[in-house]
Each structure stands twice: as C-alpha cells, then as structure tokens.
Chain A
C-alpha cells in the first residue's frame, strides 16, 4: 500500500509539473505549417483531377464500346470450324457436325450468312429471302475434282446469291451503249434482264450441269466482253459464279 502511494506520488509530481508546461514555438512555425497545408491542397486537387480524368476516360471508353457493339450489324452468322454436311431448307438452317449440331429457327426475311471453314477456305453464301432458298448443298469429300461436281441451280437463285455482293451504290447502273444515250438502269430492270438471260437455258428445264459448264454457259449467254452491262457489275457476277462453283466443287 505504501509503495503504491509512493508510485502515485511520483506520477502525480510529474503529471502536475509537466502537464501545464508550455514550449516556446519558433517564429516561423506557422508559416511552415501554412506552406505544408497549401502544398497538401495542391496535391489533393491534382489527385482529384487525375481521378476525374481516369473516370471520364473510362466513361468514354464504355460509351464507345457500347455504341460500337450496339451499332454492329444484326446479321446472324454461323461459324463452323469442322463439319461433314451442311443442309439448308426454307424454314431453318441445320448444320450437322461430328462434334456439334447448331440450329437456327426460321429466318424472317433477314439476310443471313453461313461461313463454312474447311481446309482453310471460307465460303460465304448470302441468302436474302428464305422463300427462294431451294439450294441444297451437300459436302461429303474434299478430294473430288471440281469438274466432276454437279449443282442444281435456277436463275433466280443464282441472282439471289449474287445480290449481296453488289453494294448500294452499284444498285443503279449506267448502260454504255454507243447506239443510245447513256441512261440509268434500275436494279429491278437489271434483275429481269439477268433472269431472262439465265432462264433461257436453265430455268425451263432445271437441268443438272457441272460447275465449269455452268460458268461457260453463263459467260456465253451474258457475253461478258460485249455486254451492254457495266463491267464492274459483270465482274462481280462472274467472280461470284466462279467462287460458288469452285467452293461447291471443293467442298462436295
């Protein structure tokens, strides 16, 4: 008890003596503190501005990203890396693969694309109107030579397949005929001319021909070198027919 009192006594002496003691602050102390406070404020503002900049950058990136993805085309795309058979009918598209089966329900007057990847080659088949989709493509063996392959095709179908390749700007064509004045040919008029030319040989009979023959026949009928149609349009048609027949042959 006595020692406790002694301890408290010495504690009290120090407490009473030191607690009330005041030190002498140097003259420039406040100025130094003010400088430190100003510096702190500047750094705080810089930090806030940097944060705002980052926040704004992220917001802009998000906005651009959302805008980019929301404005991208709504075309349905099917990508098949490995497949044995592709079947297309008017109501649905069904792809059989040794690994998976994908199916898309009826296409409602939308342009759809099927990309077929096989042996590093890509075949794009644009389909504008499902009612015209009577094209049946069977791919069985890649080793069959192209000129032995056959295809059932009608003029309207061929035209439908070619249509997507022609951009909006090219939908009106100028006919360069030395006998008449240059005039604008509408897409509808062009379609009817093409259908008429192609149907002359194929539509009435729906005959089976091989790919090379088909191309040769079309070239003969349209007469690419002397046609009154614009060269770029003919070029697209020719290229498309070649691509189609080559792709079908190589994938058959």
Chain B
C-alpha cells in the first residue's frame, strides 16, 4: 500500500532548508512571508521598503538556520530576526529619535479614555504610522511583541526610563486618536 505523505512538518522543512533545498525554503517562505511582511510593515511605513527588509530578513533566516534550536517556536524565531533587522535599518537611517523625559509617575498622568475594543486594523496601523519613530518602535515592541523594558532598552540602546517614557507618550497619543475617532464615528463623548 502506497502511503502518501500529505503533511510535512516545519521540522522536516527546516532540515531540508538547512541542506539548501530550494523547494523546502520556498515552502517556508510561502508560509511565513505574509505574516513577516506585516511585522516589518508595523515598523516601516513604506510597504516596498518593508518587503525588501523582509526578504533580507529571510536571507538571514536561511543562512543561519543551523543556529535554530528546535526548542522554541520557529515563527517566533523568524519574527525576532525580522524585528531586529527593521530596527537596525531604522537606526542606520537615524530615524529613531528618543526624547528622554519621564514624568515622576507616568501612569497617574495617562488620559482616562474609554477604548472601543472593536477597532479596525487599518485604522490602528494608520495611527501607529503617524507616531514618531521612537514612540512607535517602543510601543510595538512592548505591546505587540511582548518585550520587557529591559529588553527594549538593550535592543534600542536606550535606558529603561527612556523606554517607559516613549511608551507612555505613545499610549496617550494613541488613546487620544482613538477617542477622536470614536467621537466622529459614534458620537461618544
């Protein structure tokens, strides 16, 4: 009886990709490229540059597959490579500017706005893009990627206080924009 293997696991694909098998590399690319393009797009406003950075990120992925330990998530590993590559690009272009000022107790001064949870992804991406690069990067790393302030500080080469300050300001701006949007859309005061 002939058994046809319908499902090839990531592990097998990764092992074949390490051996430089183009078919395995293409399958991994097809599977993860759309998600990774979205990751890059969060940090890079220009979609073409974001895609170019994603391809360069995949180059890094395929040329350093040997170092992947099969303990954690492969997607998480690729995502981290993509994020680091985008941040390197921003730092090289000197787009990351951080203003180091932090209120004594940032949480107490945050605006107290009701947030409508049903926000459109495109709208959220739009207001994210409007943030200054420093605010945006710290907010994304903290809120979406789940980094701690210590990790953010190490990744971006800033202090933890600067990271907290950027996050605080980013949140306030985002909240105020969501509030305005809610007012326009639903007439909520």
Scan residues 16-47 of chain A and give those whose CB is less than 8 A from a CB of chain B: 17-19, 21-26, 29-30, 32-34, 36-37, 40-41
A14 & B51 in contact (Cβ 8 Å cutoff): no
Residue on B nearest A21 in the bound complex, by CB: B38
With contacts A10-B175, A18-B42, A21-B38 taken as known, whether A33 is within 8 angstroms of B59 at the C-beta atoms is yes
Q: Taking beta carbons and an 8 Å cutoff, which residues of A are in contact with B?
A: 2-4, 6-7, 9-15, 17-19, 21-26, 29-30, 32-34, 36-37, 40-41
Rounded to whole angstroms, the CA-CA distance of A33 and B60 in the bound complex is 11
Q: Are A24 and B34 in contact (CB under 8 A)?
A: yes
Chain A neighbourhood of B47, CB < 8 A: 23
Stretch touching chain A among B95-103, B107-115, B151-159: B107-115
Question: Which one, B1-9, B85-93, B120-128, is touching chain A?
Answer: B120-128
Q: Please judge, given known A-B contacts A23-B41, A29-B55, whether A17 and B30 are in contact too, CB under 8 Å.
A: no
Q: Is B25's beta carbon under 8 Å from chain A?
A: yes
Q: Are B51 and A4 touching (Cβ within 8 A)?
A: no
Contact of A6 among B30, B110, B119, B144 (CB under 8 A): B110
Chain A residue nearest to B118 (CB atoms) is: A13
A14→B115 contact, CB < 8 A: no
Query: Are A13 and B29 in contact (CB-based, < 8 A)?
Result: no
On chain A, the residues within 8 Å of B22 by CB distance are 34, 37
Mostly, the B contact residues are helix
Q: Which residue of B lies closest to A22 (CB)?
A: B34
How far, in angstroms, from A191 to B119 measured CA to CA in the complex? Answer: 116
Please give, as numbers and ranges, the residues of chain B lying within 8 Å of A26 by CB-CB distance. Answer: 51
A10 to B174, CA, bound (A): 8
Nearest 4 pairs of A and B residues by beta carbon = A23-B37, A22-B34, A11-B143, A23-B38
For residue B26, CB closer than 8 A to chain A, the reply is: yes
A21 pairs with B121, CB closer than 8 A: yes
Which residue on B lies nearest to A1, using beta carbons? B107
Provided the pairs A3-B110, A18-B144 are in contact, do residues A10 and B128 lie with their beta carbons within 8 angstroms? no
With A30-B29, A36-B59 as known contacts, state yes or no: A17 contacts B119, CB within 8 Å: yes
Q: Are B144 and A14 in contact (CB under 8 A)?
A: yes
Q: Are B108 and A3 in contact (CB under 8 A)?
A: yes
B62 at the interface (CB under 8 A from A): yes
Give chain B residues whose Cβ lies under 8 Å from the Cβ of A3.
107-108, 110, 112
In the complex, which residue of chain A has the Cβ closest to the Cβ of B55? Answer: A33
Q: How many angstroms from the CA of A6 to the CA of B172 in the assembled complex?
A: 11
Asked, given contacts A13-B124, A17-B124, A18-B124, whether A7 binds B107 with beta carbons under 8 Å apart, the answer is yes
Distance (Å) between the CB of A27 and the closest chain B CB?
11
Residues of A contacting B119 in the complex (Cβ-Cβ under 8 angstroms): 13, 17
| A15-B59 contact in complex given A3-B110, A30-B26, C-beta closer than 8 Å | no
Per a CB cutoff under 8 Å, which of B41, B54, B59, B178 touches A40? B59
With A6-B112, A30-B29, A33-B58 already in contact, the answer to whether A23 and B144 are too (CB < 8 A) is: no
Name the CB-closest residue of B to A14.
B143
Q: List 15 A-B contacts (CB under 8 A).
A: A3-B107, A7-B110, A14-B174, A17-B120, A17-B121, A18-B121, A22-B34, A23-B35, A24-B34, A24-B37, A25-B37, A29-B51, A29-B55, A37-B59, A40-B63
Chain A residues contacting B63 (CB-CB under 8 Å) are 40
- Chain A residues with Cβ below 8 Å from B29 are 29-30, 33
**Distance (Å) between the CB of A21 and the closest chain B CB?**
5
Contacts of A23 in B (CB 8 A): 34-35, 37-38, 40-41, 47, 50-51
A2 touches B59 (CB 8 A): no
Taking each of A6, A23, A33, which has the highest tally of chain B beta carbons within 10 Å of its own beta carbon? A23
CB distance B144 to A19 under 8 Å? yes
The answer to whether B25 touches A10, judged by C-beta atoms less than 8 angstroms apart, is no
Q: Point out the residues of chain B lying under 8 angstroms from A19, CB to CB.
A: 144
Docked CA distance A124–B140 (Å):
86
Contact of A14 among B62, B110, B112, B124 (CB under 8 A): B124
A6-B113, A10-B175, A24-B37 known; 19 other A-B pairs, CB under 8 Å?
A: A2-B112, A6-B175, A10-B115, A12-B117, A13-B124, A15-B143, A17-B119, A17-B124, A21-B125, A22-B35, A23-B35, A23-B40, A23-B41, A25-B33, A29-B33, A30-B33, A33-B58, A36-B56, A40-B59
